[in-house]
Structure 1
Amino acid sequence: MSHHKKDFKHFLKRRIGDPVSLLLKNGARVNGILEKVKHDYVVLGDVRDPRAVRLDCICEIAWRKSHCR
């Protein structure tokens, strides 16, 4: 599992600045710009409401199309 998690984090780090939609294990969906990837959580930047989300709470990641490219 730890190896998988490391690959996962490396993948996320390459996508910093991209808009993402995370599906959490509790069924909630969190949208935002991927801002930081830390040891065991990610930070989604939203002007009104930045969120920190634990990696082990995420069950699915969807990349949203960026408007500014």
Structure 2
Amino acid sequence: MDLFGSVNIQSLGGKLFTLVIVDEYSRYTWVFFLIAKSDTPQEIISFILRMENVVPDSSSNQHATSRE
């Protein structure tokens, strides 16, 4: 995870900071543009919540069988 800015050139939306999150296993990379550095914690929380809904929970017991 990396946060950098403020950059000299604003984006079209006025964003000055960039948050980069990299999955260490797959090397998949997400990039978020932020208006203020203080927006970082909320963006990270939102990212975690989105990933919890997208990635299946490997700890759940999906293959349980019942004994009769």
Q: TM-score, normalised by structure 2?
A: 0.26
Larger radius of gyration: 2
Higher relative contact order (CA 8 A, sep 6+): 1
- Say which structure is richer in strand: 1
Q: TM-score, normalised by structure 1?
A: 0.25
